[in-house]
Amino acid sequence: MEEEKGDVSDPGSSITVTIKFRGQAIPVTLSPDSTVKDLKSLVQPLTDVLTRGQKLIFRGKLLVDSATLRSSEVTNGSKIMLMASQGLHQGDGPIRNEAPVPSSLRRTAETDQGNKEKPYVSVGKSQLDRWRATGVVALSECKLKAIPEEVWICGASVRVLDLSHNSLPDVPAAISCLTSAQKLLLNSNEIRDECISWEAIASLKPLNVLSLSQNHLTTLPSLLGALTYLRQLHIANNKLTCLPTEIGLLTELQVLKANNNRISTIPTRIGGCTSLVEVDLSSNLLLELPETFGSLKNLKALHLNNNGLKSLPATLFKTCMQLSTLDLHGTEITMDLLRQFEGWANFDNRRRLKHQKQLDFRAGDSAVFDEGADKN
């Protein structure tokens, strides 16, 4: 123990870091006062990646060449991800898919102690090539506790990233390198508020589907409003208490699934989401909806069951001329109240027509409106 303490405080002592590159874990030993550029020089012969083609990422941040390992908070045992720019390799051959690391040092699911916390998923060259060719990274139900570094290697070629149904605890800043991502599926994981880099997600401008359902989120930041191309937002089965005001900036949003949370209020700026077609706010703590819901003229389906609602926005039936599905089970809204709303008759006709065509409608076999309104 005395010797370990001396290694930490002695500027001349060496540290060993692990460079993670294309499925391999490469140990490199050097002084903590060495610069990042020095580290790259040592990494070059082990990977065939020229120093100018190396991007070293530690804790989600890009390491700066001129900084020392000590100032970058890189310590003994740290794991650093290497992202290689294609074409920047030495010699006549391409960057090798397997670094020349002795087999005794290679990570396996059986021998790597770190696998107890972060299961290692081997990604071969063929799979990596397939990800790049299709733009689809499918890692659902892989028992992951960390996102494989190979995902970041694909970078801008990724259009769809499916990490659903794993045990991922966080979303690191490195996700910002997926600059072409259109779908990000992170539902059914272990993600908490403090472990998600919203700055990185907000930088993914082309994103049009974001799924974070079935996690442990209690809040959504204002940065959500930066995703102006978002069409679907799935945040059901979390512990959310409200939606950010900036949600009104999502003018392209068509589907909002926020059921099974603890939401008690909806911001009035929800009216800015004029493209909304389906909204599910069921099983929350809502007592009322803002009048701006009447601005959602493209709305076709509204699920409000299992809330404390006693009324609806006055203009809902009058201005939402495409609304044909309305679920009010488990609320205190009565049929007598609904009949008093202007536009109710037109809505009831649309509802009946949809029922007759046997589309996705919850009315059952009765032609009488029974979507949860109290008949007494």
Residue 191 lies in a domain: yes
The pLDDT, as a whole number, for residue 115 is 42
Q: State the Cα angle at 317 between 316 and 321, rounded to 5°.
A: 105
- Clarify whether residues 134 and 205 are in a common domain: yes
- Clarify whether residues 100 and 152 are in a common domain: no
Residue 179 lies in a domain: yes
Residue 361 lies in a domain: no
**Closest to 208 (Cα-Cα) out of 239, 252, 238, 248:** 252
Which CATH number belongs to the domain containing residue 200 in this structure? 3.80.10.10
pLDDT tens digits for range 211-266: 999 999 999 999 999 999 999 999 999 999 999 999 999 999 999 999 999 999 99
**Closest to 263 (Cα-Cα) out of 242, 244, 248:** 242
Which CATH number belongs to the domain containing residue 82 in this structure? 3.10.20.90
> Lowest-pLDDT range, 55-59, 278-282, 295-299?
55-59
- Clarify whether residues 176 and 316 are in a common domain: yes
Residue 362 lies in a domain: no
The pLDDT, as a whole number, for residue 92 is 34
- Look at residues 77, 105, 133 and tell me which one is the last residue of a structural domain: 105
Residue 75 lies in a domain: yes
Provide the β-strand partners of residue 161.
Answer: 137, 184
- Clarify whether residues 165 and 67 are in a common domain: no
- Look at residues 80, 105, 130 and tell me which one is the last residue of a structural domain: 105
> What percent of the chain is predicted at pLDDT more than 90?
67
- Look at residues 105, 140, 159 and tell me which one is the last residue of a structural domain: 105
Residue 302 or residue 101, greater confidence: 302
- Clarify whether residues 79 and 151 are in a common domain: no
Total domains in the fold of the chain: 2
Residue 322: phi, psi to the nearest 5? -105, -5
Beta-carbon contacts of 131 under 8 Å, excluding residues fewer than 6 positions away, are 137, 150, 151, 154, 157, 158
pLDDT tens digits for range 101-160: 333 323 333 334 444 444 445 677 788 889 999 999 999 999 999 999 889 989 999 999
Predicted TM-score (pTM) of the model is: 0.68
- Clarify whether residues 189 and 49 are in a common domain: no
Token couple for 277: 């077609």
Cβ atoms of residues 289 and 312 within 8 Å = yes
Distance from C-alpha of 73 to C-alpha of 50, rounded to nearest angstrom: 24
pLDDT tens digits for range 331-348: 999 999 999 999 999 999
Report which DSSP code applies to 374. Answer: B
The pLDDT, as a whole number, for residue 98 is 37
Residue 329 lies in a domain: yes
Burial class (CB in 10 A: 0-12, 13-18, 19+), 315: middle
- Provide the residue range defining the domain that includes 80: 2-105
The pLDDT, as a whole number, for residue 374 is 52
- Clarify whether residues 162 and 262 are in a common domain: yes
The pLDDT, as a whole number, for residue 173 is 92
pLDDT band at 355 (very low <50, low <70, confident <90, very high): confident
The pLDDT, as a whole number, for residue 364 is 47
- Clarify whether residues 94 and 22 are in a common domain: yes
Cβ atoms of residues 42 and 119 within 8 Å = no
